[in-house]
């Protein structure tokens, strides 16, 4: 059910890939939704993600390969995309990644990680299920960790952080061989 505050339905102003946990922004008015749309287009909303991947990518790094998007409702198209790998903490045969998005493209983190030879655990679209078997991921190991933005109406600065959820903490422990 949508909550009605000002007569407008609450709506998400960005999306997360299916299976991704974490923070999202919802607007309670049309004016706020439009302002957030502009903030996302101008990259004024700062976002970081945590992810579990196969292998040990070198960090810091800037992944800026263009991506070819193949959405079901249209022809493939090439778009620019920038993901910054801030840190990569080794965890057994994998790593815990801390990433910042400079752009927000469909499957961006997943595609960049896979292109660099480090697919995310649980990624059934761009990953390798044979690599996942020993760790039994139940979903995509991707988590929207922080969101920072200026409120589109008041200008107040906000920063939200959500820790890694229990299922990904358990998956990290399995990667490390702790259980």
The secondary structure of 58-85 as a DSSP string is -SSEEE---EEE--TTS--EEE---EEE
Residue with tokens 């299920």: 129
Tell me the backbone φ, ψ of residue 64, rounded to 5 degrees.
Answer: -130, 30
Annotated catalytic residue: which of 17, 102, 150, 167? 17
d(CA 125, CA 123): 5
What tokens appear for 140 in the block? 């995509």
How many residues are there in the chain? 179
The candidate with the shortest Cα–Cα distance to 25, out of 10, 5, 6, is 10
Please say whether the beta carbons of 153 and 30 come within 8 A: no
Is 17 tagged catalytic? yes
The helix (run of H) or strand (run of E) holding residue 39 is helix 30-41
The residues, ordered by sequence, that sit 6+ positions from 51 with a Cβ below 8 Å of its Cβ are: 96, 97, 99, 109, 113, 120, 141, 142, 143
d(CA 145, CA 158): 14
Residues labelled as active-site residues: 17
């Amino acid at each position: 059910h949508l909550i009605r505050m000002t007569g407008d339905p609450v709506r998400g102003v960005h999306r997360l890939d299916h299976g991704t946990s974490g923070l999202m922004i919802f607007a309670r008015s049309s004016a706020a939704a439009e302002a957030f749309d502009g903030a996302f287009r101008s990259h004024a909303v700062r976002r970081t993600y945590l992810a579990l991947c196969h292998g040990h990518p070198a960090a810091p790094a800037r992944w800026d390969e263009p991506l070819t998007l193949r959405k079901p409702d249209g022809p493939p198209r090439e778009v620019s995309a920038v993901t910054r790998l801030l840190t990569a903490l080794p965890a057994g045969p994998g790593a815990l990644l801390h990433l910042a998005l400079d752009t927000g493209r469909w499957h961006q983190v997943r595609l960049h990680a896979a292109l660099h030879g480090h697919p995310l655990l649980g990624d059934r679209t761009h990953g390798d299920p044979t690599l996942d078997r020993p760790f039994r991921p139940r979903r995509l190991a991707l988590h929207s960790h922080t969101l920072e933005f200026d409120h589109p109406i008041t200008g107040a600065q906000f920063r939200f952080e959500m820790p890694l959820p229990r299922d990904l903490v358990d998956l990290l422990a399995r990667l490390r061989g702790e259980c």
